[in-house]
Structure 1
Amino acid sequence: MNGRVRIALTLVCLVTLTACGGAGTAMGPSDTPAPGATTSKSPSAESPPTADAPTPDASTPTAGQGLTAPTSTRPVEVTKDVADPPIVTGVRYGGHRGFDRVVIDLDGGVPGYAVRWVDQVVQDGSGEPIDVEGGAFLQITLRPAHAHTSEGEPTWTGGPVFHAGLPNVRDVVRNGDFEAVVSVAIALDHRAGFRVLEQRNPSRLVVDVAH
């Protein structure tokens, strides 16, 4: 083989290698996803919920799975000695089979609370009626708790009436943040059984109301 032929063959090999490997790094065995593995989404892939409206409670942990509709209509009251009042950061709601769920999100522990029937929804402190329609009303009172920062900025904004439009839960009302008491009212289509659940990590107070 003469010198010109050898040079020509060398150039052909170099061109071939460049075409096969120049556009990126090949995926090796360690880069191949395992069968059934999932990839995480970028945090920017989903729009965050708006600050002035509760988001539907579709993804709450243990979101009603395996639970039947509640039947008791008796008031519930739990007293706790809490040194550092938690902060209410928002309220969510969603429909499930047989019942609607309202979730109060908390920054801190779960405080004492009372859930009882009332004749109408009023503003805590002033006692002024809030214009909200319903066939029955549940009043949730959290004590001690705040819905504002130490600087006085609200941590649960919007409202005060949030339209839920669920089978029984018509509206959720922010009707009080006064003297370490946070008040949340639920306007219902009709009176029905309810239950109260405490959930942690993160802290939440859950109220389920039967359809």
Structure 2
Amino acid sequence: MNPRPRLAAVAAGLLLTAGVSATIPASAATQSPASWQSVPKTALVVNARWGGHCTFDRLVIDVRRTMPPVTVKPVKELRYDGSGKKVPLAGKHFLEIKLSPAAAHNDAGKSVYKGPRLQKIWLPALKGVALTGDFEGVVTFGAAFHSKPVYKTFTLHSPERFVLDVKHPPARGC
């Protein structure tokens, strides 16, 4: 087989590539990728709060920007992301709540999360909440319960919030 046609094809490909890159304006090389398209910035998790109601306890996670996808799953125990250390919350049942893509810090690395990092709670169902991770675009919370939680989740907007409602028997006076 004659190597000249193959060499000619490679040379033509290199020239074509060089010609295409030469047509890109110099200003494009200095623009950041964010200016090329309208990509929303990562959601910022700024607070977690809770409250007791007659038949349910509510955990609310406040978010700036667009609400990211959230997963909630039962786990056997709560562990801190990164270290793997056990989260010191009393309970027999736990839920892990993950928001991703999200962060609890700004681009400079400074925390924007103003809520509790580890909090014991004395509500009928909810017994504790912990911020267990803010790593590689994932913010993780843990919630502790003495009995297996029956729960529902939803989001609210303006401002953005993730809501976890955990059912319990009616409280006295309700």
Please give the TM-score of this superposition, normalised by the length of structure 2.
Answer: 0.71
CA distance in 2, matches of 1:160, 1:192: 21
> 1:113-192 residue pairs with structure 2 within 5 A?
113-157=70-114, 159-192=116-149
5+ residue gaps in structure 1?
Answer: 1-81
Which residue pairs with 2:44 in the alignment? Answer: 87
Which residue pairs with 1:195 in the alignment? Answer: 152
Which residue pairs with 2:7 in the alignment? Answer: none
Which residue pairs with 2:36 in the alignment? Answer: none
Identity %: 35
Which residue pairs with 1:19 in the alignment? Answer: none
SS of match in other structure, 2:102: coil
CA distance in 2, matches of 1:109, 1:188: 29
5+ residue gaps in structure 2?
Answer: 1-38, 169-174
* Structure 1 pair 158–83 and aligned structure 2 pair: CA distance change class (3 A): closer
* Structure 1 pair 148–187 and aligned structure 2 pair: CA distance change class (3 A): same
| CA radius of gyration, larger in | 1
Give deviations 1:163-209, integer Å, cap 9, x for gaps: 22111101111100000000011011211210111100000000011
Give deviations 1:3-32, integer Å, cap 9, x for gaps: xxxxxxxxxxxxxxxxxxxxxxxxxxxxxx
Letter in 2 for 1:192: P
Q: How far does residue 125 in structure 1 lie from its aligned partner after superposition?
A: 2.0
Q: Structure 1 residues 124-133 or 85-94, which shifts more? A: 124-133
CA distance in 2, matches of 1:118, 1:137: 6
Q: Once superposed, what is the RMSD of the aligned Cα atoms?
A: 1.4
Give the count of matched residue pairs.
130
Which is richer in helix?
2
Please give the TM-score of this superposition, normalised by the length of structure 1.
Answer: 0.59
SS of match in other structure, 1:151: coil
